[in-house]
Amino acid sequence: MMDEFYLESSLRFDSNLYIYMCGGEYCAPGHAYGPAIRDHFLIHFVISGKGTFYFEDKVYSIGPNQGFVIFPNDVTFYEADREDPWHYVWIGFNGAKAAGYLQQIGLSNDNPIIHTQHGDYLVECFQEILASPVQSRGRDLKILGLFYQMLAKLIEENPQNDIFDYREEYIRKAINFMEMNYSNKIRVADIAENVNLNPNYFSEFFSKKLKLSPHSFLTELRMNRACEIMRQNATISIEGIALSVGYPDASTFSKAFKKNKGVSPSDYRKALAY
């Protein structure tokens, strides 16, 4: 299948998830690595053969359709079996949402072992990643997309997701919608419609969960962004700032800003100069 393939990539255009490297190896009998520490996440997935993964005081025997994840700053050691050494593929990654995706799979320091019924699918994704021509257009997006598909497949399998709090997902989608559209003239009704919920019901559980109404959350988002714009750009007009954060005019924005921050946008900007 694949032997000693190695891929390095600077997939940093997506801060939520980016890939450091990916590869595959037919290990020699008894081949070992560590003890070592990584500054990123690293998944190994076993295609054939077997080996042993050591972490803290635990010892895990790993075979086909299984894998293990190494978390940043953990000291780990692993070695191939001397009679039937493993052939594995691996991928190193990080990002703001990397830990959260692993959590949805059910992986943690206490449970670092991957079990799946879709090993063939994962291996196909790995093969496609490693076969991607270095100079091909859209290669980075394709590789990242394949990795997202792999994670999605593992998340679907996690039995803990059967008791997943659906409200958490609605809130996540609502916040994402607000972060993507705060510069537009969106209302709470638009947010509720985006997540397919009744506005009153949506507002009730959002407020209960976050101790902040959707309207207040959106206002905070807009005001914080307005402050950021003023810190970064001393020449943009108040009207320009208003339009940038979803207000129709400078007057409406200034009233909302003063109510939220306690000072007018002009006074806030003056204070930044000192």
pLDDT in tens, 58-106: 999 999 999 999 999 999 999 999 999 999 999 999 988 899 899 889 8
12: helix, strand or coil: coil
Same structural domain for residues 40 and 97? yes
- Give me the pLDDT at residue 6, please: 47
Report the length, in residues, of the chain.
274
Cβ(126)–Cβ(91) under 8 Å?
yes
- In whole angstroms, give the CA distance from residue 155 to residue 160: 9
Cβ(100)–Cβ(93) under 8 Å?
no
Helix (H) / strand (E) containing 5: strand 5-8
What dihedral angle (degrees, nearest 10) is formed by the CA atoms of 146, 148, 154, 156? -120
Residue 214, amino acid:
P
- Give me the pLDDT at residue 163, please: 46
Same structural domain for residues 154 and 241? no
Q: What is the number of structural domains in the chain?
A: 2
Cβ(9)–Cβ(40) under 8 Å?
no
Average pLDDT over residues 168-179: 87
DSSP conformation letters of 237-259: -HHHHHHHTT-SSHHHHHHHHHH
Same structural domain for residues 127 and 48? yes
Q: By residue range, what is the domain housing residue 134?
A: 5-162
- In whole angstroms, give the CA distance from residue 245 to residue 184: 7
- Reported as half-sphere exposure (CB side, CA atoms, 13 A), residue 7 has a value of 28
Same structural domain for residues 182 and 145? no
Cβ(44)–Cβ(88) under 8 Å?
yes
DSSP conformation letters of 107-170: --SS--EEE-S-HHHHHHHHHHHHHS-TT-TTHHHHHHHHHHHHHHHHHHH-GGGGG--HHHHH
Same structural domain for residues 52 and 83? yes
pTM surpassing 0.85? no
CATH number of 240's domain? 1.10.10.60
**Model confidence at 148: pLDDT above 60:** yes
Same structural domain for residues 260 and 138? no
Same structural domain for residues 232 and 204? yes
pLDDT band at residue 162 using 50, 70 and 90 as cut-offs: low
